[in-house]
A and B are shown apart, each in its own frame.
Chain A
């Protein structure tokens, strides 16, 4: 059974019809990517899954359990953690406090220390800066912190929104390597990216969004070879 399933989801920003019937699914252990240009509805899809936007119609289920009308904090408690667009780290809290907030709802306190070591293993840079305030980190470090913070929630499904945004190419490589490493540890990932080439190179499957609708879907390798995708999102050749 799919871990996450969206069925004909419609979301609005005020009167703007932002998602026009999104249906998608994510299977356990997969990396699934949502690609598309600015304003296609990628972030809106993640915000709707998270419960920050309430869909007008349609349903969202997590392993069969209905999430559609739940507020964001309840969605988090059911195991969906997000590294959001723009990172949204807590700028006046230390790196350690940011990570603690990631584990806010957990009751298995004995495992939290272990997970902390795990994210420090993935992001050694953060360990060096535990006592530093989040707002004083560089862009790349903030991105690492946002991902590490989401990891601290021990998610069943990890949502990553534009983890490569605004980062130097070398850092982008590191971030994508980490995403693959996370996936190898058994974490299911839904990845939103503008950097379609990178996203499709690590994903199992992909969806192409255009103005709030799913335009194409399928195996990442097949999408990469698709003529239309190449022309529009991979900059031709």
Chain B
């Protein structure tokens, strides 16, 4: 590195940001960045802005819950668990199967399930995904604990391929309905492996605000409420319980934690269990909110949640919450005012910019012990 004086450095940085901004305006056009149209849209239907705020907060809540899983695992073993998005996807499938037990066909041919079934469904989804995630750690990461980080990362990517294929093949169980009526619970999977699966209708889509131009539905309230409860519970657990403190100690210095009598392997497994359980809950929230689940959804959700975790400061629980909400809002506004098919590109751009200019994220990194 050559020494440059700070003023020159700052000037260069400003120049770079201006250049990126200019480029964004230039090539943003095909990506939906049409300032004139956006102004007209906002002026004609200003309530849309608030509507997207609600949608962004709800989707952001789901992203937060997934991002917590990335951030917890990164905090404790400095691994980006690339399989995490797929655990979320399988969580959505588990939720769907849990709901299917209580699913009935309505007069119009649609599928429906009672509200309590959805609440109950969180339990198997969280349990299955928690155990799955802890199992992945045991199988694919633990024996690589002292290997170079790249080895674990590749193992994680391999795991994500395996899980995605499990998701794809899982859909084939829908064919069992052709075997006999005892397999009716699989009717929710439909007859095509790869096709998106519809969640039974559980929540009313009526506007809780009546005729008000902004819609807030039961799904919005449920998703945001659940996310809030999960976040507060996690925060309480990590701050105040004996095991939560052991988790923090292990994250801050693994050797010192072992010297205190903390079984580090168990604490790492517990961290994966909690992260997985959160992903399972997010799967149920996603299904209830968006209505369909598909085996490829782990990738998009993973990308957005990972970006959220990095944006907030990976390893930092509060950072994941902030990042998740911001990414949710960005995605909602991009969907409305830019172009749906470019939303992921914008999210990726955020990821690249954060890594370039502020790799510790907005609230700072909290992992490792370099102090």
Contact = CB atoms under 8 A, between A and B. Distances in A.
Interface of A: 50-52, 71-73, 76-77, 81-82, 84, 88-93, 97, 100-102, 104-105, 135, 149, 153
A71, A82, A84, A88 interface centre (most CB from chain B within 10 Å)? A88
B356 interface: no
A102 B261 CA distance: 8
B248 A81 contact: no
A101 B246 contact: yes
B256 to A, nearest CB: 4
A90 B258 contact: no
A72 B371 contact: no
Interface of B: 242, 245-246, 248-249, 252-253, 255-264, 366, 369, 371
Contact of A84 (B246, B259, B261): B259
Contacts of B263: 71, 73
B245 to A, nearest CB: 6
* Interface core residue of A92, A105, A149 (most chain B CB under 10 Å): A92
Contact of A88 (B245, B246, B255): B255
B interface majority secondary structure: helix
B259 A81 contact: yes
Contact of B264 (A50, A73, A105, A153): A73
Contact of A93 (B248, B255, B261, B262): B248
B259 A52 contact: yes
B262 A104 contact: yes
A105 B245 CA distance: 13
A137 B92 CA distance: 46
A90 B252 contact: yes
Given A93-B249, A97-B245, A100-B245, A88 B262 contact: no
Given A73-B264, A135-B371, A90 B259 contact: no
Contacts of B257: 101
Contact of A71 (B246, B253, B258, B371): B258
For B256, B259, B261, the residue with the greatest tally of chain A CB atoms inside 10 Å of its CB is B259
B258 A52 contact: yes
B249 A90 contact: yes
Nearest to A92: B252
30 contacts: A50-B259, A51-B258, A52-B259, A72-B255, A72-B258, A72-B259, A73-B262, A73-B263, A76-B260, A76-B261, A81-B259, A84-B256, A88-B255, A88-B369, A89-B256, A90-B249, A90-B252, A92-B252, A92-B366, A93-B248, A93-B249, A97-B245, A100-B245, A101-B249, A101-B260, A101-B262, A104-B242, A104-B261, A105-B261, A153-B260
Given A88-B369, A100-B245, A101-B246, A93 B252 contact: yes
Contacts of B245: 93, 97, 100-101
A104 B266 CA distance: 14
Contacts of A88: 253, 255-256, 259, 369
Contact of A153 (B256, B258, B261, B366): B261
Contacts of A97: 245
B30 to A, nearest CB: 46
B258 A92 contact: no
Given A77-B261, A149-B260, 4 more contacts: A73-B258, A76-B259, A84-B255, A89-B253
A52 B255 CA distance: 7
Contacts of A50: 259
B246 A104 contact: yes
B91 to A, nearest CB: 30
B255 A92 contact: no
Nearest to B252: A90
Contacts of A89: 253, 256
